[in-house]
């Protein structure tokens, strides 16, 4: 076992860690055998001094200890991280195939045992977000190893862009920043922040520098394809359309008409741009989705046979789940009221705190209040490049239902 500082954790923290959960909160930290610099490597030990795991320690964060290894024999060096990266890349290659891997999430934080690290691939650009201080301290080691592994896999990368502008970094004691990553593996002359990607045969212009989060939401890839499969000859409404991805998949699937609604003017412009890029007809509308659905219901206008609800997360903490429940119920209730018997509803939540059981409960209540019954066609989750680790509930966040109103 490496000679690292020992952090003693309480019984609850020990039980969670031995059960495979990587986070130990500040309330479970009982002391250290020597001084540890924030973000440094430590061994977690029990009150009796028994080894639990190895991770990054940051006393500035509520998640004070992030464990990434449960093997006392692991030597935490560049070779260790390169092996981890190789596992992650080969997993995507195996489960997605080379074509779908051209735009995918290569590293999904704790699910790949890289605490607080996200790496998305958009063709020859990597978009990187570092949200833990420990990972920030070894960022160069990680990213250069990533570029080395991808080169060995014959995957060319021209640019790496850091999207470290998420406010959660402040909770770790880090500054917010954006910019290109410099490396001997990269040619500065090839730098770029925009790419045209292909997902399910549909093209999108992605702005890695200014797009939401890392530039484009990749986790709905196969859910969009599922919507496209059932869209033929239907009149479709895509709510909270953002980039128009669901709308474009519906159009590609042969929908009779597609309307895409979002409150953001820039989102509406983006949908129009992507529609032109793909030579598809999608009618982009700027409106508040809640008001739009309510007006349709109250006016007794029921022009749609498939409605897609892909809202942003209505809750990002357990404290606001109740109000989020009401928000989800309202939009689903309105959609169910508008749809004809035999119509279809694609509805989802991207909040971990709105868990499967709570989301199903919401759907049942909305259906009861709308006076309809629901037939489940499919229940889906995030695409497998955002893997779910069964001992880490936080990695399971996306719920996607395809339903028929009967």
3-state SS string over 286-330?
A: ECCHHHHHHHHHHCCCCCCCEEEECCCCCCCCHHHHHHHHHHHHH
User: What is the pairing mode between strands 51-57 and 399-405?
Assistant: unpaired
Owner of token pair 């990269």 = 186
Instruction: Quick: pLDDT tens for 252-277.
Output: 999 999 999 999 999 999 999 999 99
Percent helix / strand / coil, the chain, rounded to 5: 35, 25, 35
Q: Which of 129-133, 184-188, 213-217 has the lowest mean pLDDT?
A: 213-217
Please tell me the predicted confidence (pLDDT) of residue 150: 98
Please tell me the predicted confidence (pLDDT) of residue 352: 84
Burial of 164 (0-12, 13-18, 19+ CB in 10 A): middle
Backbone angles phi, psi at 179, to 5 degrees: 160, 170
Give residue 301's pLDDT band: very low, low, confident or very high (50, 70, 90): confident
List all residues 6 or more positions away from 52 whose beta carbon is below 8 Å from its beta carbon. 9, 14, 17, 18, 43, 44, 45, 46, 67, 70
Instruction: Quick: pLDDT tens for 83-111.
Output: 999 999 999 999 999 999 999 999 999 99
Give residue 322's pLDDT band: very low, low, confident or very high (50, 70, 90): confident
Q: Which of 26-40, 101-115, 205-219 has the lowest mean pLDDT?
A: 205-219
DSSP strands (E only) in 148-275? 159-164, 177-180, 194-199, 202-207, 235-239, 257-262
Distance CA 208, CA 126 (A): 9
Please tell me the predicted confidence (pLDDT) of residue 142: 98
Give residue 302's pLDDT band: very low, low, confident or very high (50, 70, 90): confident
Domains of the chain with bracketed CATH: 6-69 (2.30.130.10), 78-192 (3.30.750.80), 219-405 (3.40.50.150)
Distance CA 288, CA 326 (A): 17
Please tell me the predicted confidence (pLDDT) of residue 83: 98
Enter the pTM of the model: 0.94
Please tell me the predicted confidence (pLDDT) of residue 41: 96
Is residue 151 scored above 80 in pLDDT? yes
> What average pLDDT does range 20-39 have in this prediction?
94
Look at residues 305, 306, 325, 300 and name the one whose alpha carbon lies nearest to residue 315.
325
Give residue 215's pLDDT band: very low, low, confident or very high (50, 70, 90): confident
Please tell me the predicted confidence (pLDDT) of residue 158: 97
């Amino acid at each position: 076992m490496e000679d690292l500082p020992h952090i003693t954790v309480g019984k609850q923290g020990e039980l969670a860690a031995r059960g495979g959960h990587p986070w130990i909160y500040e309330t479970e930290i009982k002391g250290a055998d020597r001084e540890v610099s924030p973000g440094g490597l430590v061994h977690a030990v029990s009150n009796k001094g028994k080894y639990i795991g190895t991770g990054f320690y940051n006393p500035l964060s509520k998640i004070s200890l992030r464990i990434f290894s449960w093997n006392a024999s692991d030597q935490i060096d560049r070779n260790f991280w390169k092996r981890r990266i190789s596992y992650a890349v080969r997993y995507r290659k195996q489960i997605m195939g080379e074509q779908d891997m051209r735009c995918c999430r290569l590293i999904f934080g704790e699910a790949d045992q890289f605490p607080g690290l996200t790496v998305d691939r958009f063709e020859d650009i990597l978009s990187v977000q570092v949200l833990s201080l420990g990972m920030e301290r070894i960022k160069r080691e990680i990213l250069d190893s990533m570029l080395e592994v991808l080169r060995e896999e014959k995957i060319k990368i021209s640019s790496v862009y850091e999207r470290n502008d998420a406010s959660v970094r402040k909770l770790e004691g880090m500054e917010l920043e954006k910019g290109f990553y410099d490396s001997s593996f990269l040619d500065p002359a090839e730098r770029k922040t925009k790419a045209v990607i292909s997902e399910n045969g549909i093209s999108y212009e992605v702005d890695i520098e200014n797009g939401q989060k890392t530039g484009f939401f990749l986790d709905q890839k196969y859910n969009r394809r599922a919507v496209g499969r059932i869209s033929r000859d239907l009149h479709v409404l895509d709510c909270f359309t953002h980039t128009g991805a669901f709308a474009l998949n519906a159009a590609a699937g042969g929908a009779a008409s597609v309307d895409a609604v979002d409150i953001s003017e820039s989102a509406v412009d983006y949908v129009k741009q992507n529609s032109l890029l793909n030579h598809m007809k999608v009618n982009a509308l700027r409106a508040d989705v809640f008001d739009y659905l309510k007006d349709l219901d109250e006016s007794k206008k029921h022009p749609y046979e498939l409605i897609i609800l892909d809202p942003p997360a209505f809750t990002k903490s357990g404290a606001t789940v109740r109000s989020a429940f009401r928000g989800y119920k309202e939009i689903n209730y309105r959609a169910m009221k508008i749809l004809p018997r035999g119509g279809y509803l694609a509805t989802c939540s991207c909040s971990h705190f709105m868990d499967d059981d709570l989301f199903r409960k919401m759907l049942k209540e909305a259906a009861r209040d709308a006076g309809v019954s629901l037939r489940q066609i499919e229940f889906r989750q995030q695409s497998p490049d955002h893997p779910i680790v069964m001992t880490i509930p936080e990695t399971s966040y996306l719920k996607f239902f395809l339903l028929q109103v009967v």
